[in-house]
Amino acid sequence: NAGVMQNPRHLVRRRGQEARLRCSPMKGHSHVYWYRQLPEEGLKFMVYLQKENIIDESGMPKERFSAEFPKEGPSILRIQQVVRGDSAAYFCASSPTSGGPYEQYFGPGTRLTVT
Amino acid sequence: AQTVTQSQPEMSVQEAETVTLSCTYDTSENNYYLFWYKQPPSRQMILVIRQEAYKQQNATENRFSVNFQKAAKSFSLKISDSQLGDTAMYFCAFMGPYSGGGADGLTFGKGTHLIIQP
């Protein structure tokens, strides 16, 4: 049973470029969450998605950041016109479709470096 | 908004000792969920233990147990017989009431860096 997959694991972008981070949830999971971890900090919630729906984006910066979780394929976190302050580790987590408040299972993260 | 506070940035103990990591939180909710996650040098986030606020019994997972004090809004993690592989960052996390449509985002503390010395 494969875990949460994220790619790429490392991404280097120059200022002004676009970054696309991908997340494939665990099999049977239809809830996806994105978090950002700045150096020496805990994870900060960004957005919660279900298939084709954004449920909660209260932690997402208002500009340059967007997320989607299409009917087919992985969830994508997109950062346009990256700046140095976007350098961080971005984690995706998934949880099961129904039932109780299941734990969130995390992927290995994507480390974004903006030069 | 909920907040989670971990007041110990770093702790160091000898192998086989018992260590307790502290966590306090602030919320106006009555039903919620608390978690401890471990992040080793690989940076993978690993769930250690979970506690439902409506349960009075403290959760236990092998060498890991919690001391959940709801009135004090305290949720400490005890690691018994510590091992070298326990060296990692430990994050306390809060999740609000389950709405039936899926769980909310987690609110994390800043973490405690635990070092197990041989």
- Residuewise pLDDT in 10s, chain A (115 residues): 578 999 999 999 999 999 999 999 998 888 899 999 998 788 999 999 998 999 889 899 999 999 999 999 999 999 999 999 999 999 999 988 665 566 789 999 999 999 9
Confidence class for position B100, pLDDT limits 50, 70, 90: low
Give the separation between CA A29 and CA A98, rounded to whole angstroms.
Answer: 9
Number of inter-chain CB pairs under 8 A, A vs B: 66
Comparing CA positions, the residue from A31, A46, A35 lying closest to residue A94 is: A31
- CB contact under 8 Å between A42 and B91, yes or no, is yes
Average pLDDT over residues B84-104: 82
pLDDT score recorded for residue A65: 97
pLDDT score recorded for residue A96: 81
- CB contact under 8 Å between A108 and B42, yes or no, is yes
Nearest-CA distance A81 → chain B (Å): 26
Average pLDDT over residues B14-35: 94
Torsion of CA B86, B88, B92, B95, to 10 degrees: -100
pLDDT score recorded for residue B97: 77
pLDDT score recorded for residue B109: 95
The runs of H, that is alpha helices, within B1-118 are none
- CB contact under 8 Å between B102 and A100, yes or no, is no
For residue A48, give the nearest of B43, B46, B105 by CB distance: B105
pLDDT score recorded for residue B88: 97
Give the separation between CA B5 and CA A27, rounded to whole angstroms.
Answer: 33
pLDDT score recorded for residue B31: 87
Q: Quick check: B48 and B59 in contact, CB under 8 A?
A: no
Three-state SS for A107?
coil
Give the separation between CA B107 and CA B94, rounded to whole angstroms.
Answer: 5
pLDDT score recorded for residue A2: 73
pLDDT score recorded for residue A98: 60
Which residues on chain B are in Cβ contact (under 8 Å) with A45? 105-107
Nearest-CA distance B72 → chain A (Å): 23
Chain B residue with CA closest to A99: the answer is B100
Counted residue by residue, chain B has a size of 118
Higher per-residue confidence, B35 vs B105? B35
* Window 37-76 of B, Cβ < 8 Å to A: 37, 42-47, 50, 52
pLDDT score recorded for residue A100: 57
**Cβ neighbours of A1 (radius 10 Å):** 5
pLDDT score recorded for residue A102: 67
